[in-house]
Amino acid sequence: MAIVLAENDLVEAKLYCRSQGQYSINTMHYRVTDILGASATDASAAQEIGTNFGGALRDLMSSRARYLGCSAQILLPTRRPRVVFEGNAGDGQEDGEILPRQVAGLARKKSDFASRSGRGRMYVPFPSELHNDEDGFPNAAYLVLLAVFAGLFDDPQEVGGGGNTATLSPIIYNRNTNVGTPITGFDTSSVWATCRRRSDVRGGDRVPF
């Protein structure tokens, strides 16, 4: 059942991908900062975020990998059940085999604070061998697409419609303090990163649908 969003709700969104039995889960957080009309729901948040991020993520993956969908869950002030949007699911857009397991693109989230709690990062999964240049670095075309994807990090998500909307403002969430730092920018890495947390067996790495 969809839950209506309220101002100051903390919403956690997750993007799910899979390849060869291996799952990738990337997490983002948003604070509800503005309500119009009767607001919107967590289901509409999952749909909007999944639509906006899913296509950009598929552009960065081998066709041997698949984007599965997006979930949204209200964490605070009261934890609610997770809702899932599977629209926009599909295979990666680049031909070629996947680069060695755990190789990933790297995009970083920035805020106005210099401490570790004021930064975040996202490991972009399952790049193709055709994304790799002859020297073993992400090629120019991949870096352009990575910047497009990372450019979504600081974009507020306007969810709902028909005069009933909510604005979700992107934050870097500190689980120890329950404080969210507004995201003000991004950058990307020109070298490959290694995502060591991805696995085939850990329960936390399984998709919820």
- 96-125 confidence digits (pLDDT tens): 999 998 899 999 998 876 666 556 889 999
Q: How many structural domains compose the chain?
A: 1
206 within domain boundaries: no
5 within domain boundaries: no
85 within domain boundaries: yes
- Taking only the tens place, the pLDDT of each residue in 152-204 is 999 999 999 999 999 999 999 988 887 888 999 999 999 999 986 655 545 55
- Taking only the tens place, the pLDDT of each residue in 127-164 is 999 999 999 999 999 999 999 999 999 999 999 999 99
> What domain range includes position 58?
10-198
What's the pLDDT at 115? 61
Q: What secondary structure letter does DSSP report for 62?
A: B
132 within domain boundaries: yes
Q: What secondary structure letter does DSSP report for 145?
A: H
pTM, 2 dp: 0.91
How far, in Å, CA of 146 to CA of 140, rounded? 10
Given a cut of 60, whether residue 205 has pLDDT beyond it is: no
4 within domain boundaries: no
How far, in Å, CA of 167 to CA of 170, rounded? 10
52 within domain boundaries: yes
What's the pLDDT at 85? 96
Q: Biggest alpha carbon distance in the chain?
A: 54
208 within domain boundaries: no
48 within domain boundaries: yes
